[in-house]
């Protein structure tokens, strides 16, 4: 839970481009669709992909 709070704070401190927001929306949609299908493996994979992408984008912005 603590890491989510950190990500939330960083997210709001950053100035995200339209491309960042579009990518995040697409990643969330992938997770949501997998959950709706009941495909746990696909949902987990999509969530891991999203978190890795988010981490990479945050680190690129803060360096």
Residue-level pLDDT at 57: 84
Residue-level pLDDT at 5: 72
Residue-level pLDDT at 17: 78
CA–CA distance, 63 with 56 (Å, rounded to integer) = 11
Q: Which of 55, 61, 53, 56 is nearest to 4 (CA)?
A: 55
Q: Which of 42, 11, 24, 25 is nearest to 3 (CA)?
A: 11
Structure tokens at 55: 């981490």
Task: Give per-residue pLDDT as tens, 11-59.
Answer: 665 667 788 889 999 999 999 999 999 999 999 999 999 999 988 987 8
Structure tokens at 40: 């746990």
- As a residue count, the chain comes to 63
pLDDT at 1 over 60: no
């Amino acid at each position: 839970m603590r890491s989510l709070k950190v990500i939330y704070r960083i997210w709001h401190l950053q100035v995200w481009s339209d491309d960042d927001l579009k990518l995040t929306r697409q990643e969330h949609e992938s997770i949501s669709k997998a959950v709706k299908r009941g495909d746990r493996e696909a949902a987990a994979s999509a969530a891991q992909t999203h978190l890795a992408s988010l981490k990479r984008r945050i680190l690129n912005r803060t360096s």
